[in-house]
Each structure stands twice: as structure tokens, then as C-alpha cells.
Homo-oligomer: A and B are copies of this chain.
């Protein structure tokens, strides 16, 4: 498997066992070693008391992109701490894209940055996740 194939295989395995990402209609659009792009349409069920996308739903999209990116090298990795900053509101019906990249890796600790953008390309939120690698793998690479 190439690193990109491995990243896709890990993401598909995680997605299959992640009811939240599926339930929210997230779509994995691109994968690489340490990176991921995930999209999601904001539905009415994801709006908040102010009439725009609920912060928790924007966070969930960014958090899933972070999770796919930091597990893409087939080392089971969990999030320790995440910060999201909201820059512009997102609207019901809009497709949001979350692009996660690996900013730093030092031993078992990593930093991943996710940019969430709207359909017109404007920045909706920035997210930074701090990850910790565990000792097991995401998928069994030996299995054909």
C-alpha cells in the first residue's frame, strides 16, 4: 500500500465504525499521510438558537477531519485538546469543507490544523487539535 492508500484505508475503517460522522452526512473527499478533507451540508437540524450553524456541528466536522488526518499513518491516535475559533457564520443548506493538515509531530504528540470554509471559500472557523498516539494500529495492514 502507498501512504495515500493506507490513509484512505484507515479513514474508511474509522468512518465505518463512526456513527456520528455518518449520521451527520460527512463525506471524506481526500486523504493523505497526516491530512484529510471532509465536507458536510448544514441541515436545519444542525442550526442553533441564533439561526446559523450550531458551533458544535462545525466543531464535529473539524474534529472528524482532525481524527482522520491524525490516524492516517495507521497508528491509533486520540485527540487530547482542541480549540476552535469562529470567524464567520455558516448557513443552513451550505456545504462546509474542513481541510486538516499536520503542523507538528514530536514523538507521540502531534498538532493538526483544520480550516473550515464555506461554499464561497470564506473562512468559517479555524481549529487546532493536539493528538496523542496510542500503541495499537487502526487497521490490520496484513489482511488483503
Please list the residues of chain A having a beta carbon within 8 angstroms of any beta carbon in chain B: 13-15, 17-21, 23, 44-51, 54-57, 59-61, 63-64, 67, 71, 76, 78-88, 103-104, 106, 109, 111, 113, 115, 122-123, 126, 128, 130
Contacts and interface: CB of A to CB of B under 8 A. Distances in A.
A122 B55 CA distance: 25
B63 A55 contact: yes
Contacts of A81: 81, 83-86, 130
Contacts of A111: 85, 87, 126
Contact of A47 (B18, B46, B60): B18
B113 A103 contact: yes
Contacts of A82: 55, 59, 83-84
